[in-house]
Amino acid sequence: MASLRLGDEAPDFTADSSVGTINLYDYLGDSWGILFSHPADFTPVCTTELGTAAQFKDEFDKRNVKMIALSVDGAASHNEWIKDINEVQNTTVTFPIIADEDKKVSTLYDMIHPNADNHLTVRSVFIIGPDKKVKLTLTYPASTGRNFYELLRVIDSLQLTANHKVATPANWKNGEKVVVSPAIATSDAEKIFSKGVEEIKPYLRMTPDPTA
């Protein structure tokens, strides 16, 4: 199938996992979600990633984001692997890891890229909104671990811009100045953003984070 694009509905699925059978939509409820795939169990980079994800759980919880991972190995293998992850990363993995032995979910989400590997999933990331629409996609090669600080930064941006008529500039971090939407006239922006509007160019206006 074609790759999922931003704004597409995230395909629902029911699958076995490290915590039993789960349905994606039921699991997410009205929360945001982050779905990330791993090439296989007992792989070194993935071990560090899943351990880091578990260590970041409180940060994701603060943002109402539920994590769900995926590997093409089975649930029994996942649970043995989780023991290793907890040990070497000094953490506790509590989020589900999908057992995608039949590659059903991998196919739905276009996680297998034949020019990279015919059998193993690439390191895909999908951020899914409460409306079950895809808000972000990222694809990493198998050799490169993900940056979870960046994933949190992106979620902060997505959640801010979903509720306010702003965008976030390069290297933006939570609490910093944001860009006023180009669709808003400066005169209107000055009424909307009570903290002030700085006009750098007619098309580039900055305002303090409206939530800070």
Q: Which of 15, 46, 67, 72 is catalytic?
A: 46
Determine whether 118 is an active site residue. no
Three-state secondary structure readout of the chain: CCCCCCCCECCCCEECEECECEEHHHHHCCCEEEEEEECCCCCHHHHHHHHHHHHCHHHHHHCCEEEEEEECCCHHHHHHHHHHHHHHHCCCCCCCEEECCCCHHHHHCCCCCCCCCCCCCCEEEEEECCCCEEEEEEEECCCCCCCHHHHHHHHHHHHHHHHCCEECCCCCCCCCCEEECCCCCHHHHHHHCCCCCEEEECCEEEECCCCC
Q: Which residues are catalytic?
A: 46
